[in-house]
Amino acid sequence: MRVLVIGAGALGGYYGACLVRAGRDVTFLVRGTRAEQLRRDGLKVVSPHGDFTVQPKIILAHDLEEAFDVVLVGVKAYSLDEAMSQFAPAVGAGTTILPILNGLRHLDALIARFGAARVLGGLANVSAGLDPDGRVVHFMANQTIVFGEIEGALSERALALETLFDVPGIDVRASEAITQDMWEKFVQLSTIAGITCLMRASIGDILAVPNGEQSIFRLFAECCAVATASGYEPRAPFIEFDHKLFTTLDSPLKASMLRDIERGSMTECEHILGDMANRARTLGIETPLLDLARAHVAAYEVGRRRAAS
């Protein structure tokens, strides 16, 4: 399969680099400055599993003319509209679009633009970011990618993608219940982003203060209530996993949203915290801690835009 990876940031850069290292046919759609950096330095990954560098095939948007078999979309939610316009020429009759963005709202945009038949549900569980030198830094050992048909059931294309992504550095799973999986990830991410941004601290540091653990689980309960009312009650293994995740002493875990705040960048606040809060309002569910976290990050965005202007 010919794979087009949209961008070479944390998500696309990590998974795309692992695919290239394994000999898969991968091309990265990037901007001019990133293209120059990749041509000069290669795509570098710093990982607990071992550092490596690949020499990627790259293409700019104005040169994109041919259809690809798979389009892997891992951009930030606020860049999705621009990205869709850029990769549209790569979407043919047989193209599968695999988004691994955070949250859920992006599925509607992709389906509206390209049609439901072309879009899979997907998620990535990986803690990674770009450092100032453009290297993909893999912060923790998790490296999972999960995908499947939005309506459920295993399909031939999902199984084919499972084979494609079955390479060193990636834990891959084709799912028969990807919407449930995505809702659980949405709950987890909203909890981590909400509490670490609100406290401006890692999970480990929050656990070290009075009422820190209780605050984490109050927010977790709010988000679980929204998922349950939406028809996707979190399953027992997920609850057990997140309980361990949220009680690991000295954990360095913090949301990528907080990392964005720390470097003064735009965040996915409305796509994650805002969307969860809006769904809660529609369902009549009270989410005071989630609302406070959303307001906190939204206020940061107001100040960031003012400073930029």
The pLDDT averaged over each successive group of 10 residues in the chain (309 residues) is 94 96 97 95 94 96 96 94 97 97 95 97 89 89 92 94 97 97 97 98 98 98 98 98 96 92 96 98 98 98 95
Matching residue, tokens 């759609």: 29
pLDDT at 142: 79
Query: Which stretch of DSSP H or E encloses residue 103?
Result: none
Q: Does residue 44 have an active-site annotation?
A: no
pLDDT at 18: 96
pLDDT at 274: 98
Of 44, 76, 185, 254, which is the active-site residue?
185
Which tokens is 104 given?
A: 């859920």
Check if the beta carbon of residue 214 is closer than 8 Å to that of residue 184. no
Dihedral of alpha carbons 131, 46, 69, 57, sign: positive
Partners of 72 in beta bridges? 5, 98
pLDDT at 129: 83
pLDDT at 27: 98
Check if the beta carbon of residue 74 is closer than 8 Å to that of residue 7. yes
Q: How far is CA 144 from CA 19, 233, 243, 287, in A?
A: 13, 22, 19, 30
pLDDT at 141: 74
Nearest-Å Rg of the Cα atoms of the chain is: 19
Q: What is the arrangement of strands in the sheet containing 57-59, beginning at the earlier edge strand?
A: 57-59, 25-29, 2-6, 68-73, 91-99
Query: Which stretch of DSSP H or E encloses residue 294?
Result: helix 288-308
Matching residue, tokens 């689980």: 217
Beta strand 43-46 with 52-54: parallel, antiparallel or unpaired?
antiparallel
